[in-house]
Structure 1
Amino acid sequence: MRFRPRYAPSRRLLSVAALLAALVVPVTAPPPAAASGLGDDLTARLDQAIAQVQREAKIPGLVVGLWMPGKGEYVRSTGVADTSTRQPMTDDLYVRIGSETKTFTVTALLQLVQEGRAGLDDPVARYVPGVPDGGHITLRQLAEMRSGLFPYTSDAGFDHDLLSDPDRRFTPQELLAYGYRHPNVFPPGERFQYSNSNLILLGLVIEKLTGRPLDEVIQQRVLNPAGLRHTVFPTDAAIPDPHAQGYTDQTLDGQITNSTHWDPTWAWAAGAMISNLQDLRRWAKTVATGELLDAHTQSERLTFLPTGVPGTGYGLGIFDSGGWIGHNGSLPGYETVTVYLPSEQATLVILLNTDITYQGQEPSSLVARAVTGVVTPDHLYGVSVRGR
């Protein structure tokens, strides 16, 4: 689930022909996995499945981490992190994690709820003024994507403003204003609609309750206790080193460009964060098992409601797809998947340095489906919905 706006060309725009040529992954035998204890046959099958998706979808670089206690692990980096220098993709690189940010934002909110500082069924109007029908929309409905608020990312004016300058900085209030131009889509609670507007509001609720900037709250309440030393909530367009370059076709004219340093403030509480493989490995289990929450609050979080996608339900800032619990993410140039399968105590993390779809499907979903099809065919990852 992700948002795919169009964007203005970067100042480092390459020609379509040049970048397409650079993005083509050579059809060669895959190198051995960086680490694998799953046995030669299973490792070879994973190598083959991943290589096929990478070739077909023209993914420049990717990292796959799979950990299955009692069975083994598989950590694989392949392709390039930079199509110009041909720097190889490695498993220590930072990437932008897009909508996985939602799991961090909602975790902070749920901590405040369990402390009695807010209630999930409180109306959002109690904390943020000016929300259309805010007296009836609850914090729970915002977190489970059932508020009915018009998604700001679907507003034509928002598109226009992004098209004019991908380096533009946005405030949360500016983002919400785009959505408020439109009537609500449906009454609160009626159905599921994935919308970044909901998370922008929850970010403002957290700031209201704590009196502190959201990035500081998430650092203190979530990142530090979880031991995530390589996860960042940025307040500007910087990305730590070492990092993969990101490639997108979300440009004014559809050309492919390097989007590594585009400003992520348009996504804020819904999608601005940065992380790496090992931190996301730790986070997958932490968020799925509720290590930072009490049992009651975690049970509220994991109450999954239908999304309209077969086999996939959405809880409070988290999904269940084929039994895999977690979230995926996409920002121009990057895609990720971070999920945990309780029945196997298994963790799967996927990092890509492109968000360019293949036959209308997200490349990260194609990789996740290929991996789970090999190792957990009875628990097939099935998220393929675009967040817009």
Structure 2
Amino acid sequence: MARSTGVRAVSLCAAALLAVAVQTTAVPAVGRPDRGCAVGGQSTDDRARKVLDIVRQARRELDLKAVLVRVTVDGRELVTDAAGESMDGVPATPAMHFRAGSVAFAQLGTVLLQLVDEGRVGLDAPVSRWFPDLPHGDEITLRMLGDSTSGLHDYVIDPAFVKKFYAAPFRHWTPSELLTFPLGHSLWYAPGTDWSYSHANFVLLAEALEKITGTPMDRLLRERVLDPLGLSETSNSFTPEIPRPVLHAYDAERGTYEESTFWNPSWTTAPGAVLTTDICDLARSAQGIGSGELLSRHSYRVQLDPGTPGLGAPTAGCPATVCLKQTEAFHFGVGVIVKNGWVLQNPSFAGFAAVQAYQPDERLAIAVSTTVGPKAPGGNTAQTITNRIAAALAPDHPLDLAVG
């Protein structure tokens, strides 16, 4: 949930998505010196210096507790950096792990399209095949779950869910508990006729993928995405645990600035896809997903454009920050956001914010993770930094993600 609005207003990754003395010295990575995810000597590359300047200025300007960043070009490191503190007196390092949130949605979309490539399922198969009791299951397809055009409400903006979450942020949520909220409402619109961001789509998609393959989700992602991309520091957890070293998070969603690191993330998506990662894996994920490395050319094109740009118009009763008309410059693909040619995801919840973004023409990957201080602005602060890095390194491809 975004720091200032949280689920109360829209949030998590959704609102930022749709509204389409500071520590500056390099510190060594802790715990994994052999992985290469560490700050090395200061680069003489002017582009690297620009990134470092952007990070340090943004940290001061936005009152950020910590900023982790990695930029690669054609898979080669341009810069990896960490600024600020994880906790008071504990410097942030690139090796620290943080919650990946909606990055899992891009991976779920990739697995779906892999199964289509293999002829094991059709994108337009009705989900009633796997969920015979789901209302409108004959009308909702796998494609609609993946590109978020099912019409299902997003439980994270449901006042009933919000109240329960804030009353008990350490509570574990099951998929059936989460789905009671959207299924308690009528659809926002007829399936396939409009677009709206909804976490319910990906809870259902994950369960469908497990049923199609007969494979538990954590193993499915490991075998089909994490291992092929070499994401050794990305993993699912069935508990709120985060592998050490940990990037701690803080938030003021409940009215007071407090540590939120171990709030239970079970509500963010389906079991087996609740991921933690580090900044090096996030950059590699940006490159692998953004370039279509794991898909056929056809499925990669479908992931970036499932046929929804320009679809529909804001729907009566659907919040303007959730149901918006898509355009060629901004739309939602199959588990990914596409903005001015960039392929990205932008998780933001419980004090954690991040962006993984890839520009295929430039072969440029940007990964940013932020945590906030008590005076930080609302929204996904990692997007502000990503926007500035994109403008500096790829001026012909502005990103301009809205951050309010």
Matched, 1:4 2:10: no
Residue 397 of structure 2 aligns with which residue?
A: 379
- Higher mean alpha-carbon deviation, 351-360 vs 114-123, is at 351-360
The answer (yes or no) to whether the contact 2:346–2:354 under 8 Å persists in 1 is: yes
The 3-state SS of whatever aligns with 1:202 is helix
Residue 228 of structure 1 aligns with which residue?
A: 231
The answer (yes or no) to whether the contact 2:66–2:371 under 8 Å persists in 1 is: yes
Residue 165 of structure 1 aligns with which residue?
A: 168
The 3-state SS of whatever aligns with 1:60 is strand
The answer (yes or no) to whether the contact 1:309–1:383 under 8 Å persists in 2 is: no
Amino acid at match of 1:47: L
* 1:104-143 superposed Cα distances (whole Å, 9 cap, x missing partner): 1222222222222221111111111333322111111111
The answer (yes or no) to whether the contact 2:75–2:287 under 8 Å persists in 1 is: no
Give the whole-Å Cα distance in 2 for the aligned partners of 1:70 and 1:268: 29
Which of 195, 199, 209 lines up with 2:198 in the alignment?
Answer: 195
* 1:222-265 superposed Cα distances (whole Å, 9 cap, x missing partner): 212222111111111111001110111222xx111111111111
- Higher mean alpha-carbon deviation, 71-80 vs 149-158, is at 71-80
The 3-state SS of whatever aligns with 2:237 is coil
Residue 342 of structure 2 aligns with which residue?
A: 324
Q: Which 5+ residue runs of structure 1 have no aligned equivalent? A: 7-25
Amino acid at match of 2:132: P
The 3-state SS of whatever aligns with 2:343 is strand
The answer (yes or no) to whether the contact 1:132–1:184 under 8 Å persists in 2 is: no
Q: Compute the displacement of 1:102 (Å).
A: 0.5
The answer (yes or no) to whether the contact 2:109–2:303 under 8 Å persists in 1 is: no
Give the whole-Å Cα distance in 2 for the aligned partners of 1:126 and 1:323: 35
Give the whole-Å Cα distance in 1 for the aligned partners of 2:215 and 2:130: 14
The 3-state SS of whatever aligns with 1:364 is helix
Q: Compute the displacement of 1:164 (Å).
A: 2.0
Give the whole-Å Cα distance in 1 for the aligned partners of 2:326 and 2:391: 18
Residue 267 of structure 1 aligns with which residue?
A: 268
Which of 177, 180, 183 lines up with 1:177 in the alignment?
Answer: 180
Give the whole-Å Cα distance in 2 for the aligned partners of 1:127 and 1:198: 14
Amino acid at match of 2:156: T
TM-score normalised according to structure 2 size:
0.82
Q: Compute the displacement of 1:361 (Å).
A: 3.5
Residue 351 of structure 1 aligns with which residue?
A: 369
The answer (yes or no) to whether the contact 2:226–2:232 under 8 Å persists in 1 is: yes
Residue 245 of structure 1 aligns with which residue?
A: 248
Which of 145, 150, 154 lines up with 1:147 in the alignment?
Answer: 150
The 3-state SS of whatever aligns with 1:265 is coil
Amino acid at match of 2:330: T
- Higher mean alpha-carbon deviation, 235-244 vs 66-75, is at 66-75
The answer (yes or no) to whether the contact 1:357–1:363 under 8 Å persists in 2 is: no
Which of 111, 120, 140 lines up with 2:123 in the alignment?
Answer: 120
Residue 58 of structure 1 aligns with which residue?
A: 63
- Higher mean alpha-carbon deviation, 281-290 vs 142-151, is at 281-290
Which of 268, 289, 292 lines up with 1:290 in the alignment?
Answer: 292
Cα distance change of structure 1 residues 71 and 216 upon mapping to structure 2, 3 Å threshold: closer
Residue 86 of structure 2 aligns with which residue?
A: 81
The answer (yes or no) to whether the contact 2:348–2:354 under 8 Å persists in 1 is: yes
* 1:161-218 superposed Cα distances (whole Å, 9 cap, x missing partner): 2122111111111111111111111111222211101101101101211223211221
Amino acid at match of 2:193: E
The 3-state SS of whatever aligns with 2:102 is helix
Give the whole-Å Cα distance in 2 for the aligned partners of 1:71 and 1:173: 43
The answer (yes or no) to whether the contact 2:248–2:261 under 8 Å persists in 1 is: yes
Residue 14 of structure 1 aligns with which residue?
A: none
Give the whole-Å Cα distance in 2 for the aligned partners of 1:241 and 1:77: 16
The answer (yes or no) to whether the contact 1:318–1:325 under 8 Å persists in 2 is: yes
Cα distance change of structure 1 residues 354 and 377 upon mapping to structure 2, 3 Å threshold: same
Amino acid at match of 2:69: V
Residue 11 of structure 1 aligns with which residue?
A: none
The answer (yes or no) to whether the contact 1:285–1:347 under 8 Å persists in 2 is: yes
The 3-state SS of whatever aligns with 1:74 is strand
Give the whole-Å Cα distance in 1 for the aligned partners of 2:276 and 2:373: 15
Amino acid at match of 2:290: A
* 1:333-379 superposed Cα distances (whole Å, 9 cap, x missing partner): 21111111111111111011349895543211111112112222222
Matched, 1:276 2:278: yes
Give the whole-Å Cα distance in 2 for the aligned partners of 1:197 and 1:376: 35
Residue 45 of structure 2 aligns with which residue?
A: 39
TM-score normalised according to structure 1 size:
0.85
Matched, 1:313 2:316: no
Q: Which 5+ residue runs of structure 2 have no aligned equivalent? A: 9-20, 27-38, 311-323
Measured on the aligned residues, the alpha-carbon RMSD in Å equals 2.7
The 3-state SS of whatever aligns with 2:194 is coil
The answer (yes or no) to whether the contact 1:63–1:352 under 8 Å persists in 2 is: yes
The 3-state SS of whatever aligns with 2:401 is coil
Give the whole-Å Cα distance in 1 for the aligned partners of 2:133 and 2:76: 53
- Higher mean alpha-carbon deviation, 62-71 vs 118-127, is at 62-71
Amino acid at match of 1:290: G
Give the whole-Å Cα distance in 1 for the aligned partners of 2:223 and 2:110: 12
Between Structure 1 and Structure 2, how many residues are aligned? 362
